[in-house]
Copies of this chain bind each other. A is one copy, B any other.
Amino acid sequence: MSVPYSLEELTIGGKGSEQKASDKIPFIARPFVSERAKKTLDIVEKFVEEECIPADTVYQQQVGTSKQERWSAHPPIMDDLKKRAKELGIWNMFLPKNHFKEGAGFSNLEYGLMAEFLGKSTTASEATNCAAPDTGNMEVFAKYGTQEQKDRWLKPLLAGEIRSAFLMTEPEVASSDATNIALTITKEGDEYVLNGQKWWSSGAGDSRCQVYIVMGKSDPKNSNVYKQQSVIFVPFDTPGITIHRMLSVMGFDDAPHGHGHITFNNVRVPAANICLGEGRGFEVIQGRLGPGRIHHAMRSIGAAEKALEFFLARMNDPRKKPFGKQLYEHGVMLDRVAHSRIEIDASRLQVLNAAIMIDSKDAKFALKEIAEAKILVPDMLLKVLDRAMQAYGGAGVSQDTPLANMWAHGRTMRIVDGPDEVHAMQLGRNENKRGEYCLKKIEWQKKRAVEMAESYGMKKMDPLQLDREWSKVHDGKGNVDKAKL
């Protein structure tokens, strides 16, 4: 795939020519970004805008249209993009330097800035080997895997040769509360036997997906519900596993990646496949989810930026002049652009601050900030997308813009890794821990005010104080003795 000419020609000298990615890093985040990261960021931007975004539609076409084609597709353009990304040195940027030696040596913040650009394309994350769920899965293998497991799965994952899935959510329970997860993992001899079903197993449709990381109940009677669950590695071709069907998202099947509904019928794996140890499932998923949420959030920021670019493009399309004015001459449209700009910028800072906290310690330390970003960003993205869609009219909901697909994907962000409501409830409870202190402080301040008033020889009182006995100032006919008021 040659790149005969580039976007730069467009940017040089023209009105509205754009700054490079590294020049647009928010000022407040700059002390945290190395020169090397800035250079890489600019390469990522160029790769995404010039190669991945055009490739997005080619990839879709290569996936095909029939069910058979779609679920066995392996679009050749993806291999070319991967090759190119490796040449450009933009590969595995997601593994943070302070915890993993296997990655490209960036911090969560630095990768976050890159992930924003990856989020503008449907192919870019996979092309740079930074696509979920492989990213989180690689972290699990790198952190908790044995050498053998690393050789078998982590190595080819890091090389982008195979893919993986994370199987947690289940259709028959409220799995937004992970203690409800019900698939059984029962020890029999030196094997574990799995029975149950999983859905929203993202990536399970891919013909290169070779391993499932499965969460399930190994000790259902443990009095500590957080110790009932284990995580185990399961090869995709273990007998007893059936991919029952694929789930659609707002009408999109997301092939060939897809979201599987998978049944486990006496699926047997070696006991050695257990991850970290029996009953330690919660430990594994908690370590996994934090940075992943930041990645999702930053990609969503990028999606929002792309939506705004489409909005702006439409506003300036000379063919579109309803009522004799271009859209940018309609005040309602400018107002929506402005609010989109504000909401995107505020959300980005929120995510970057969370990323810096993870970098400074770990994801647990940034629990509150991650939850804030997790709730704030998808809500923002959907609003920005909706405005852009509306500006496009019919084109905005159709295949002629990427907006509808982005909306569908963005909508799931309010659900994946726990629905907004669960995070808000936990955030609310956490904040409420301050309640007793606030109550005491306010009471203290009131008492202090009374003392202060007394020190000035005043009674602490309300300006609307009356302390009148009506019967003494009021004659019953509407006449009042004003002096006594």
Contact = CB atoms under 8 A, between A and B. Distances in A.
B7 A444 contact: yes
A440 B335 CA distance: 23
B425 A338 contact: yes
Given A249-B398, A250-B407, A467-B244, A485 B71 contact: yes
Interface string A369-406: 10010011000000000000110011111111000110
A21 interface: no
Contacts of A285: none
Interface centre among A252, A360, A442 (most CB of B within 10 A): A442
A248 B398 contact: yes
Interface centre among A347, A375, A421 (most CB of B within 10 A): A421
A89 interface: no
A382 to B, nearest CB: 9
A394 B478 contact: no
A122 to B, nearest CB: 12
Interface string A1-21: 110100100110011111000
A65 interface: yes
Interface stretch (A188-196, A235-243, A270-278, A287-295): A235-243
A85 interface: no
A341 interface: yes
Copies of this protein in the complex: 4
Interface string A422-461: 1111011101111111111110111011011101101011
17 contacts: A1-B452, A16-B437, A54-B449, A173-B319, A173-B320, A176-B322, A208-B477, A244-B466, A245-B465, A246-B464, A248-B251, A334-B425, A334-B428, A349-B350, A349-B353, A390-B421, A397-B408
Contact of A438 (B169, B312, B478): B312
Contacts of A464: 67, 245-248, 253, 399
B328 A435 contact: yes
A446 B65 CA distance: 21
Contacts of A259: 398
Nearest to A392: B415
A474 to B, nearest CB: 6
| The 9 A-B residue pairs with the shortest CB-CB distance in the complex, in nearest-first order | A251-B251, A334-B428, A237-B471, A331-B331, A316-B435, A72-B480, A349-B349, A16-B437, A54-B448
A372 B345 contact: yes
A480 to B, nearest CB: 4
A242 B485 CA distance: 12
A74 to B, nearest CB: 5
A58 B457 CA distance: 11
Nearest to A244: B467
A61 interface: yes
Interface stretch (A24-32, A95-103, A128-136, A143-151): A24-32
A144 B369 CA distance: 44
A252 B32 CA distance: 44
Given A27-B356, A27-B357, A334-B425, 12 more contacts: A16-B433, A16-B435, A57-B449, A61-B458, A68-B485, A173-B320, A249-B251, A312-B439, A313-B442, A331-B333, A342-B427, A396-B415
A469 interface: yes
Interface centre among A177, A460, A463 (most CB of B within 10 A): A463
B452 A312 contact: no
A356 B338 CA distance: 21
Nearest to A426: B338
Contacts of A341: 368, 372, 427-428, 431
A124 B4 CA distance: 55
Contacts of A335: 332, 421, 424-425, 428
A115 B246 CA distance: 34
B399 A248 contact: yes
A172 interface: yes
A309 B437 CA distance: 9
A424 B338 contact: yes
Nearest to A407: B250
A453 B58 contact: yes
